[in-house]
Amino acid sequence: MATKFRPVHSPSTFRRVAAAMWRRPNNPSIYGSLDLDASAALAFLPEYGRRHDVKVTMSHLVARAVAVAIARHPEVNAKVRFWGKIEERESVDLVLQVATEGGRDLSTARLDRADEKSLADIAREIRRQAEKIRAGQDENLGKSRDLFQRLPWWLARHAVGLSDFLVNELHLDLASQGMPRDAFGSAMITNVGMFGIDTGFAPLVPIARCPMVVLVPEVRERPWVEAGAVVSRPVLRLCATFDHRIIDGVQAGQLSRELSQLMANPETLAGD
């Protein structure tokens, strides 16, 4: 008996865009994970948050660490345009994923010049943008969401391709239509720890043109070797997907060492 299919009615905006965006597998993704002893970070975050009267999470700390690491290695802060032209960004801009509609859809909060912001500033800015998005007050999100919700499925891929060409190849700023230029910046950071996930990798988003996607999973107790003895430690397993056209093993290793040092000394990430 042949398999039967039925249409999915009212898919989320993200699902509509994703279905139109990806084609058969043909991408430059490479993957890597990094286990970090989170003891120092877990002790630092509550005390820092009390001093600055703001809730600071592991995602905020990772975002700050990623921004600093990219700033120290500007060659990875690049995008590919015109089917092979590599250009470096002049600023380190990050995007953090924000769940909306009770987790049914996804949006983004953007941090411009994230390496120049303090940890407290990052936490406040992400909270402000997330509240605005969830309250339906983000005009750019509303415009792009309405556009893709109105499009028939057979036009969605053409619309995604056209917007990709306009904002990434021509570098037009179409923020008034909900499509700002270089909307995803230098890296995307997604917190999946809230869902109980301790290891996972995300795909590179074709229209994003950012060189890396970093997942922040749940901190879990794991075996850890210290001075030749096996002990229990709270471990954060950072997982990343890189664009191999921009980042290879050398750059990935450099970023890994930077992140390890920064996260082991979280007070250096305060930026106050």
The model's pLDDT over 188-239, given as tens digits with 9 standing for 90+, comes to: 999 999 899 999 999 998 888 999 999 999 999 999 999 999 999 999 999 9
pTM of the predicted model, to two decimals?
A: 0.89
What pLDDT does residue 53 have?
97
CA torsion angle for 203, 185, 32, 216 (degrees, to 10)?
Answer: -90
If one compares 20 and 131, the residue with the highest pLDDT of the two is: 131
Print burial letters for 243-257: b (CB count within 10 Å at least 16), e (below 16).
beebbeeebbebbbe
Least confident of 85-89, 98-102, 225-229: 98-102
Reduced to 3 states (helix: H, G, I; strand: E, B; else coil), residue 271 is coil
Extents of the domains making up the chain: 29-225+248-269
What pLDDT does residue 59 have?
96
pLDDT band at 42 (very low <50, low <70, confident <90, very high): very high
Residue whose token pair is 């407290």: 120
Secondary structure tally for the chain: helices H, strands E = 7, 9
Is pLDDT of 85 > 70?
A: yes
Long-range contacts of 196-201 (CB under 8 A, 24+ apart): 198/237, 199/33, 199/237, 199/239, 200/239, 201/31, 201/239, 201/240, 201/241
As given in the structure block, the two tokens for residue 241 are 């997907």
| Burial of 134 from C-beta contacts in 10 A (0-12 / 13-18 / 19+) | middle
Contact 77, 153 (CB under 8 A): no
Residues above pLDDT 70, as percent of the chain: 93
Contact 149, 13 (CB under 8 A): yes
Is pLDDT of 103 > 70?
A: no
Tens of pLDDT, residue by residue over 137-148, are: 776 666 777 777
CATH architecture of the domain covering 29-225+248-269: 2-Layer Sandwich (3.30)
What pLDDT does residue 149 have?
80
| Burial of 24 from C-beta contacts in 10 A (0-12 / 13-18 / 19+) | exposed
